[in-house]
Amino acid sequence: MKLSGVELRLISMPLVAPFRTSFGVETTREILLLRAVTDEAEGWGECVAMSDPLYSSEYVHAAVDVLTRFFIPALADVPELDGNAVAPALAKFKGHRMAKAALETAVLDAELRAQGRSMGRELGAVRDRVPCGVSVGIMDSIDELLDAVGGYLDAGYLRIKLKIEPGWDIAPVRAVRERFGDEVLLQVDANTAYTMADARHLAGLDPFGLLLIEQPFDEEDVLGHAELARVVSTPVCLDESITSARAAADAIRLGACQIVNIKPGRVGGYLEARRIHDVCSANGVAVWAGGMLETGIGRAANVALAALPGFTVPGDTSASDRYYRTDITEPFVLDQGHLAVPTGPGIGVTPIPDELAAVTSKVDWLPL
């Protein structure tokens, strides 16, 4: 394909309720969307960077800058452009994996649309629908948490993930177990809020039969996670620490994780995400699909990824109405705890023009 140019579009999506984690509270999601225009088709990608560099070092306006100044111009020199050519073309640039992932996805989506192939088929999906979990933020009270969890279980979600931090960990987990029983699939996510000094305290979660504890320590403390895995019986899952297939292989070798959360934006794209899936599968390590409060653009591709065979734990591939009253695509709707894998060409969805325009704050066109 020949790339004509890329549109960068900033949108602002109000959340249905504030979402609190150990690193802050979100009430509105600022999102960067990319539209790659080629001589054969157009493709869409969603950058999952947050407004502030809290989850990772990346943030929305830095992604706009690096895409504008470096990444998009670099594709002008690629003679045979397709999805697989993007990462090699950008390899000389350090970091900025979320921006790289958005650009690769937009190009890959255009390629697949031109060829009439779906993202699921391209990645190797083996299911036509995927089981869904939901992420529950830190609440102001236990009663508020129990009401929220009860609502999600009534809606049909098959797994509950509780965000935790020091001072909000054992008590909420105990309360959810006491109210809803041991049969509920339950896990916790610390988003790097603890240190090895908290290991014995985190072992207090062991009696509750959790699926996993996700990223309790700093993303660079892989050895600390390996030490923790020898102290607690709850399986340790890595998120922020896994930035590539190589990082996954190293963490597995060190015994730092028994489960891996794969977020395509965090690792540089869906093609690298598939490589991580393959590394984990070869080593008998389960994986699941994480989420970054995506719109339907990002959610569609995430659901396709979650349909690969190694994804054996319900992911954070929640329905559209978990976060947004109105999505910019046709909404993803929960059906008996599952979401359908899109079967149309590319990611299988496109923005609804009126909905997209209603939330757009800025559009830039970068011709090549």
Q: What is the pLDDT of residues 255-281, one digit of tens each?
A: 999 999 999 999 999 999 999 999 999
Are residues 128 and 106 both part of a single domain? no
Are residues 160 and 242 both part of a single domain? yes
In total, how many domains does the chain have?
2
Are residues 97 and 135 both part of a single domain? no
Residue 280 lies in a domain: yes
CATH number at residue 26: 3.30.390.10
The model's pTM? 0.95
| Residue 23, pLDDT score | 78
Residue 310 lies in a domain: yes
| Residue 25, pLDDT score | 86
Are residues 181 and 308 both part of a single domain? yes
Active-site residue set: 163, 263
CATH number at residue 272: 3.20.20.120
Residue 130 lies in a domain: yes
Residue 292 to residue 57: CA distance in whole angstroms? 15
Given a contact cutoff of 8 angstroms between Cβ atoms, the answer to whether 112 and 119 are in contact is yes
Residue 85 lies in a domain: yes
Are residues 284 and 192 both part of a single domain? yes
Residue 158 lies in a domain: yes
Tokens of 222: 């892989």
Are residues 232 and 293 both part of a single domain? yes
Sign of CA dihedral 137, 140, 145, 147: negative
| Residue 211, pLDDT score | 98
Are residues 14 and 140 both part of a single domain? no
Residue 248 lies in a domain: yes
**SS3 of the chain: helix, strand, coil, percent, to 5:** 40, 25, 35
Tokens of 352: 């609804």
Are residues 261 and 280 both part of a single domain? yes
Q: Which residues contact 89 (CB under 8 A, 6 or more apart)?
A: 74, 75, 77, 78
Are residues 140 and 279 both part of a single domain? yes
Residue 345 lies in a domain: no
Given a contact cutoff of 8 angstroms between Cβ atoms, the answer to whether 274 and 126 are in contact is no
Containing domain of residue 105, as a range?
3-116+350-367
Are residues 200 and 220 both part of a single domain? yes
Residue 150 to residue 179: CA distance in whole angstroms? 9
Using 70 as the pLDDT threshold, list the residues of the chain that sit under it.
none
Residue 145 lies in a domain: yes
Are residues 91 and 148 both part of a single domain? no
**Coil vs helix vs strand at 43:** strand
Are residues 163 and 193 both part of a single domain? yes
Sheet holding 185-189, edge to edge: 133-136, 159-163, 185-189, 213-214, 236-238, 259-262, 286-289
